[in-house]
């Protein structure tokens, strides 16, 4: 009698645990589906602790989708505003360039060349600002294919060596994942160029990559002494120029890099390392097709 009751209790307990495990696995799969493709978890009408957890997850997913929608709307509004301003600036800048070039051809002065340089800088600034806002608002289509990140970094550094022959470049590690090669080259190139411009004649730029089952980590570190701690959170802001920035810097390159990394679902941080600035980007490995 007692053994029979004991066996019944064990069987009942087993079925309860099996049901809980199945519910947990289903919720886990729902969360993964949401992360990879935006498929939301369903609300439960049951009256249980697990049902409340499932509804909390569903509510959180709804809030995330709403926030994403608001962010995309704001980004598009910003992009439209910048596009309008850029369009308004292009015409007078083109006129200024024409008059300066005519003056340089006929009656050049000591200021003509400087004027043309300033106009070129303004044209570059307008172009890059417009690109930054277009990246944020998904105006560009990114093509994600498998590449070796360290090989791409090697190509970037080979292009920089003739421009900065006195710098030492070091590449550590290997990693491969899906990303847009053209945009990734620009993002990493902006950071390496920034490191080159903020180091001395003995400048050393170390680029390290590593990979595990869930992510790829990219670290770019220089020996330029770093920046004041209070400036670190501002480095990726557009138009921000650190105290030791190059005179020709417009303060937009790092902002573009961060925007490109974020379109690859990466998190980006800046900190002072042992000898200089250290920028880290962590890319999650997502097997499903990315919807950008």
Give residue-wise pLDDT tens across range 35-79.
Answer: 766 677 677 777 777 778 878 888 887 888 788 777 777 767 766
- Span 252-262, pLDDT tens digits: 889 999 999 99
- Assigned domain for 12 exists: no
pLDDT, residue 284, reads: 93
- Span 137-188, pLDDT tens digits: 777 889 999 999 999 999 999 999 999 999 999 999 999 999 999 999 999 9
- Assigned domain for 9 exists: no
Angle at 283 between CA 234 and CA 211, to 5 degrees: 125
Residue 169 sits in the same domain as residue 117: no
CA dihedral 47, 48, 51, 53 (to 10 degrees): 130
- Assigned domain for 92 exists: yes
Residue 101 sits in the same domain as residue 66: yes
Residue 186 sits in the same domain as residue 131: no
Classified as helix, coil or strand, 1 is coil
Residue 164 sits in the same domain as residue 89: no
**Alpha-carbon span 253 to 214, nearest angstrom:** 28
233 versus 22: the higher-pLDDT residue is 233
Give the confidence band of 289 by pLDDT, cuts at 50, 70, 90. very low
- Count how many domains the chain has: 2
81 is in which domain, residue-wise? 40-140
Give the confidence band of 290 by pLDDT, cuts at 50, 70, 90. very low
CA dihedral 284, 289, 290, 292 (to 10 degrees): 170
Residue 106 sits in the same domain as residue 125: yes
Residue 163 sits in the same domain as residue 70: no
Picking from 80, 118, 119, 129, the residue whose alpha carbon sits closest to that of residue 252 is 129
Residue 87 sits in the same domain as residue 209: no
Output the domain CATH number for residue 203.
Answer: 3.30.565.10
**Alpha-carbon span 60 to 41, nearest angstrom:** 10
- Assigned domain for 174 exists: yes
């Amino acid at each position: 009698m007692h053994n029979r009751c004991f066996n019944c209790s064990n069987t009942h307990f087993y079925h309860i645990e099996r049901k809980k495990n199945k519910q947990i696995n289903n919720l886990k799969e729902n969360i993964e589906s949401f992360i990879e493709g935006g498929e939301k978890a369903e609300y439960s009408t049951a009256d249980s602790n697990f049902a409340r957890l499932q509804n909390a997850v569903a509510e959180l997913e709804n809030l995330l989708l709403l926030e994403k929608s608001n962010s995309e709307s704001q980004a598009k509004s910003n992009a439209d505003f910048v596009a309008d301003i850029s369009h308004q600036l292009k015409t007078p800048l083109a006129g200024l360039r024409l008059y300066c070039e005519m003056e340089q051809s006929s009656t050049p002065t000591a200021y003509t060349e400087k004027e043309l340089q300033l106009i070129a800088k303004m044209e570059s600034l307008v172009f890059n600002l417009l690109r930054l806002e277009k990246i944020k608002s998904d105006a560009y289509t990114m093509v994600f294919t498998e590449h070796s990140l360290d090989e791409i970094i090697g190509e970037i550094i080979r292009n920089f060596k003739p421009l900065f022959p006195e710098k030492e470049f070091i590449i550590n590690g290997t990693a491969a994942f899906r990303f847009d090669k053209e945009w990734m080259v620009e993002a990493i190139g902006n950071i390496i160029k920034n490191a080159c411009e903020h180091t001395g004649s003995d400048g050393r730029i170390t680029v390290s990559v590593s990979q595990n089952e869930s992510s790829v980590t990219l670290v770019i570190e220089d020996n330029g002494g770093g920046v004041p701690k209070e400036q670190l959170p501002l480095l990726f802001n557009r138009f921000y120029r650190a105290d030791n920035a190059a005179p020709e810097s417009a303060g937009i390159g790092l902002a573009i890099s961060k925007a490109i990394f974020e379109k690859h679902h990466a998190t980006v941080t800046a900190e002072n390392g042992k000898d200089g600035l250290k920028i880290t980007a962590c890319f999650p490995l997502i097997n499903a097709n990315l919807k950008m």
